[in-house]
Amino acid sequence: MKKVNVEINGKKVIKDIPDHTLLSVFLRDILNLTGTHVGCDTSQCGACVVFADGKSIKSCTAFAADVNGSKITTIEGLAKNGKMHPMQEAFKKLHGLQCGFCTPGMVMSAVDLLQNNKNPSDTEIREWLEGNICRCTGYQNIVAAVKEAASKM
């Protein structure tokens, strides 16, 4: 067992967990933060992206013990005071989702992109998001949503 002491979405969390617990399992199964989706368990699909100390990581291949002492933000932590984050608003407005399975990871990755590049081109958006798989949308509305959010952030 390992004691994990983290801040998740602004709240301190201290839990004893098995050493081998994946961050995605810790978030979903132990803390019931089910917005972080697990699609592949191999770091291929990107549905599990969260922020660890402000940088995007794929939580299905990170051990919870390895983020001990970190600040974690999940899709649930993007909204503030009941108001959606500009990226969430843009995905909703421009229908950058269909089934919604990839959406949490896609939104988190897109926010990370705009933290690094305030005005990305369509090509830069597509390249940044290549680690996130969407089987429904064809990506065009996702690219449009990222550009919309960039104009508001």
Average pLDDT over the chain, rounded to whole? 95
- Please count the other Cβ atoms lying within 10 Å of the Cβ belonging to residue 84: 14
- Which of 33-47, 81-95, 100-114 has the weakest average pLDDT? 33-47
Q: What mean pLDDT do residues 63-88 have?
A: 96
Which domains occur in the chain, in start order? 2-76 (3.10.20.30), 86-152 (1.10.150.120)
Q: What is the pLDDT of residues 16-61, one digit of tens each?
A: 999 999 999 999 999 999 999 998 878 899 999 999 999 999 999 9
State yes or no: pLDDT of 79 exceeds 90.
yes
Helix 140-152 × helix 103-116 angle, to 10°: 50
Residues 55, 112: contact at Cβ < 8 Å?
A: yes
Query: pLDDT, tens digit, for every residue of 133-150?
Result: 998 888 999 999 999 999
- The answer to whether residue 118 scores a pLDDT higher than 90 is yes
Mean pLDDT of 82-111: 95
Output the DSSP codes for 31-84.
Answer: S--TTS--S-SSSSS-TTEEEETTEEEEGGGSBGGGGTT-EEE-GGGT-BTTB-
- pLDDT, residue 55, reads 93
Longest dimension (CA), the chain: 46
117 Cβ contact partners less than 8 Å away, ≥ 6 residues apart: 124, 128
Question: Quick one: average pLDDT of 114-137?
Answer: 94
Is residue 133 within 8 Å of residue 79, measured between CB atoms? Answer: no
Question: Are the CB atoms for 50 and 64 separated by under 8 Å?
Answer: no
